[in-house]
Amino acid sequence: MSARYEELKGLKNLGQKYAYGDREVMLYAYGIGLGADPMDENELAFVNEGTFTPRPLKVVPTFASVAAWGSGPGEMNLNRVMVVDGERDITFHQPLPVAANITADSSVLEVYDKGKDKGVVIVHQTVLKNEKGEKLATLVASRFARGDGGFGGPNLTQPDPHKIPSRAPDKTIDITTRPDQALVYRLCGDRNPLHSDPEFAKKAGFPRPILHGMCTYGITCRGVLQTYADYDASAFRQHVARFSSPVFPGETVTMDLWKDGNTISFEAKVKSRGVTVIKNGKTVLG
């Protein structure tokens, strides 16, 4: 077995400690575009705690993706310029509190070596727990390192993604992003210059900085919240999406959604460029 494969597969980091409060919760919600209409009470519940009529602040389910930002199984020594998000799958064990001290246990689940000049896909898991040791959320991330691979890992096949229904969408919605949205979202933790530095973005092969894939992921959660979840964050059991193409800040994301019982399938595109940006999306409500 390849030493490089064994090195990556063996990465593990347990008991990482983090804390967050309402400021981080509201910043994330604003970072994915909630509150764009300052009179929309449904969205204000995620970005404003209320004053004259007090109300509990709601936490967007996918805030779990930044609640322990920086946690991970360890240093992978990858070509950072060529690394992009491949897929994200979050299982929600219970609603996230507005403020918490949490721990994160991270480990690499599998490594898919696609071959020389084809890159490598690394799948790793992070389990978030509260102070009682109870699971809050399990995050499974797929990282595509385009500049690595070809080190002789086992010939493994990745699992098939969620299948989108063949019928016409049950709902279609448009969600507009702001030209400065990546500059806001990066304050949630992801300071990758690919999303803020024009020179860095060009070196990575893009004409200008792109929106974080995880911001687009949050936008799809927002889309399900406003359509089939009635803005009830506690209804989310799972949210899965594959990243197929970047969004540029300022573009409009069009979501197609299909409802089959408690399962919401979705895909997202940018019509102005004729590209699909999210594929094989699935939300399980309960």
Enzyme catalytic residues? 190, 195
What six digits make up the tokens of 195? Answer: 């999303």
What are the strands of the beta sheet with 275-285, ordered from one edge?
A: 12-20, 100-113, 120-129, 135-145, 83-92, 236-243, 275-285, 263-270, 252-260, 171-176
Q: Which of 105, 137, 148, 90 is nearest to 16 (CA)?
A: 105
SS3 28: helix
HSE toward the beta carbon, residue 75, CA cutoff 13 A? 1
Q: Which residues contact 114 (CB under 8 A, 6 or more apart)?
A: 120, 121, 149
